[in-house]
């Protein structure tokens, strides 16, 4: 029951928060922080009990949901999803503490929305039934819609509608593809099923050189949904608007976790379900990823708004992950998964820092800053460390992920590798140029304003940033502490991509064996229902 606990405890806690009187804002904040730390503790238990030697699903839980259609409540954890779950549970208390003062209106609604969103994101990473995954995937849109639409900036309605329409449209195509796969399984074995373990066994026809074949059409139906969520170029236009208009905690959770639901979808669904189509069209996704890397860096370089600069840097960094995944070798896939975690830490930290300075100045215009290093020395040191992580300086977490991705890319094509390295150079250029203008040189009007003197970070803000800074160096200096947990799953995905299968690891946890049993019961109940 560990997976059910880590998934639904945030939802239960959100309901408890909803029962607290709205006037008790301090109680709401403290309770939300404590609740989120409890969920994080459960995820740490998962790490402690995880068997890193196997690629099989661990802690599996499966119960019939709609047996007539083969839809089940099926949760499972492997090396691909483990750290994404932990990243979600880790960032949630950081966000709650970071928004302690910035969210001052409708405090109860905000914290309830954040906890509901946590359930949706964790459920997306754990669901091994395609319909259940779709429910969690779509559920994540609702609290995010309200977080941007209620607590966002002046153009929040435009930004949140654009975000919602983009992602909803892509998801509908994925739903049609899931229904097709359910019928394909029915035609093959005589039973409906929405289980990914059953989908992996399907032999879907593929014809090279033509778009109109079942596997290619299904491949692009899923890929469109996940490409929008990433977001990949040219489907990225909703992201800068959403980031700029979202409140700081909304930007952190969006960049830190929600974008990873797209790249995770490529690893869990697109590549293993449609191996021939993925291999045939890999060049297209590598090309779009490379365009996104360079385009995002060039556009970030000319941004006058510091938050929009960080938003476009996300477009560039997510391009690296796509390139790594579609390199379809162990280096690229390992680097892509690791970079998902790195991006969540470093870009989440950047948005937190931008939010902290915005609370002091109520401006994000780079031209108005200058000389912050003298006025805010602690803030400057933390910002420089996170910047070094973002531009992949050795000994920081960003270096490990980008280095592995570049190794995988060069293994595919030296031309691809050279273009990807160009993105690294451009990334350093726009980030360091921004640092120079904001922190050094002549003092800007916001720093010279004697009527509103700037105050350096307080203890709460330092506590918010401390775990992120620790992770920057921990993941950079000791990457195997994290990579060892995903090694077996990634090697299994790459080496058996053309005939990918997943099994349930019966010794992962006391509840795992019962998960297998319930799978058999579910199949029997489905057959009985059909009779």
pLDDT at 516: 36
pLDDT in tens, the chain (531 residues): 899 999 999 999 999 999 999 889 999 999 999 999 999 999 999 999 999 999 999 999 999 999 999 999 999 999 999 999 999 999 999 999 999 988 888 999 999 999 999 999 999 999 999 999 999 999 999 999 999 989 988 888 898 888 888 888 889 999 999 999 999 999 998 899 999 999 999 999 988 888 889 999 999 999 999 999 998 988 888 888 888 888 999 999 999 999 999 999 999 999 999 999 999 999 999 999 999 999 999 999 999 999 999 999 999 999 999 999 999 999 999 999 999 999 999 999 999 999 999 988 888 888 888 888 888 999 999 999 999 999 999 999 999 999 999 999 999 999 999 999 999 999 999 999 999 999 987 877 777 766 677 888 999 999 999 999 999 999 999 999 999 999 999 999 999 988 898 899 875 444 343 333 334 333 434 444 443
pLDDT at 507: 58
Distance CA 80, CA 458 (A): 37
Distance CA 122, CA 265 (A): 13
Exposure string for 189-211, b = 16+ CB within 10 A, e = fewer: eebbbbbbbbbbebebebeeeee
Q: Under 8 Å CB-to-CB from 258, ≥6 apart: which residues?
A: 121, 140, 144, 229
Q: Which residues is 57 bridged to in the sheet?
A: 504
Residues constituting the chain: 531
Contact status, residue 207 vs residue 213, Cβ threshold 8 Å: yes
Residue by residue, DSSP assigns 340-393 as HHHHHHHHHHHHHHHHHHHHHHS--BGGG---HHHH-HHHHHHHHHHHHHHTT-
pLDDT at 521: 38
Residue 20 buriedness (CB in 10 A; 0-12 / 13-18 / 19+): middle
**127 by DSSP, 3-state: which?**
strand
| Residue/partner pairs of 150-155 with CB below 8 Å, 24 or more apart | 150/106, 150/109, 150/110, 151/103, 151/105, 151/106, 151/110, 151/246, 151/247, 151/250, 152/245, 152/246, 152/247, 152/250, 153/244, 153/245, 153/246, 154/245, 155/241, 155/244, 155/245
pLDDT at 519: 41
Structure-token pair, residue 192: 């409906």
Torsion of CA 306, 312, 317, 319, to 10 degrees: 180
Going from N- to C-terminal start, the domains of the chain cover 289-500
pTM as predicted: 0.91
């Amino acid at each position: 029951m560990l997976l059910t606990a880590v998934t639904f405890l945030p939802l239960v806690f959100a309901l408890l928060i909803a029962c607290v009187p709205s006037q008790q804002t301090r109680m709401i904040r403290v309770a939300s922080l404590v609740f989120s730390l409890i969920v994080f503790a459960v995820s740490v238990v998962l790490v402690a009990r995880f068997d890193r030697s196997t690629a099989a699903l661990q802690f599996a839980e499966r119960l019939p949901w709609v047996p007539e259609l083969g839809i089940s409540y099926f949760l499972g954890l492997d090396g691909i999803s483990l750290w994404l779950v932990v990243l979600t549970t880790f960032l949630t208390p950081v966000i709650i503490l970071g928004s302690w003062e910035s969210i001052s209106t409708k405090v109860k609604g905000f914290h309830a929305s954040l906890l509901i969103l946590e359930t949706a994101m964790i459920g997306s990473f754990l669901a091994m039934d395609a319909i259940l995954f779709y429910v969690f995937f779509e559920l994540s849109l609702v609290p995010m819609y309200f977080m941007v639409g209620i607590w966002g900036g002046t153009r929040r309605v435009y930004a949140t509608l654009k975000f919602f329409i983009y992602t909803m449209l892509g998801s509908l195509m994925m739903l049609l593809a899931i229904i097709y796969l359910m019928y394909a399984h029915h035609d093959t074995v005589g039973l409906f099923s929405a289980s990914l373990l059953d989908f992996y066994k399907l032999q879907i026809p593929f014809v090279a050189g033509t778009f109109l074949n079942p596997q290619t059409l299904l491949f692009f139906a899923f890929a469109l949904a996940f490409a929008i969520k990433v977001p990949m170029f040219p489907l990225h236009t909703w992201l800068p608007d959403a980031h700029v208009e979202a409140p700081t905690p909304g930007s952190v959770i969006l960049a830190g976790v929600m974008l990873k639901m797209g790249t995770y979808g490529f690893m869990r669904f697109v590549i293993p379900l449609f191996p021939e189509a993925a291999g045939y069209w890999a060049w297209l996704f590598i090309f779009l990823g490379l365009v996104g890397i360079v385009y995002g860096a060039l556009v970030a370089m000319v941004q006058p708004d510091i938050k929009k600069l960080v938003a476009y840097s996300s477009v560039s960094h997510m391009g690296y992950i796509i390139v790594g995944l579609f390199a379809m070798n162990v280096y690229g896939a390992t680097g892509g998964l690791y970079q998902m975690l790195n991006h969540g830490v470093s870009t989440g930290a950047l948005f937190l820092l931008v939010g902290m300075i915005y609370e002091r100045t109520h401006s994000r215009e780079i031209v108005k800053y200058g000389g912050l290093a003298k006025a805010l020395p602690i803030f400057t040191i933390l910002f420089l460390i996170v910047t070094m992580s973002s531009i992949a300086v050795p000994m920081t977490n960003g270096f490990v992920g980008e280095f592995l991705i570049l190794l995988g890319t060069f293994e595919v094509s030296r031309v691809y590798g050279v273009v990807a390295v160009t993105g690294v150079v451009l990334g350093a250029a726009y980030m360091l140029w921004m640092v120079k203008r904001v922190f050094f040189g002549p003092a800007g009007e916001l720093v010279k304003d004697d009527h509103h003197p700037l105050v350096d970070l307080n203890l709460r803000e330092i506590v918010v940033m401390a775990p992120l800074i620790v992770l920057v160096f921990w993941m950079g200096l000791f990457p195997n502490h994290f990579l060892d947990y995903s090694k077996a799953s990634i090697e299994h995905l790459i080496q058996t991509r053309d005939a990918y299968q997943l099994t349930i690891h019966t010794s992962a946890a006391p509840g795992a064996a019962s998960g297998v049993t319930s799978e058999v019961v579910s199949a029997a109940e489905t057959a009985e229902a059909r009779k």
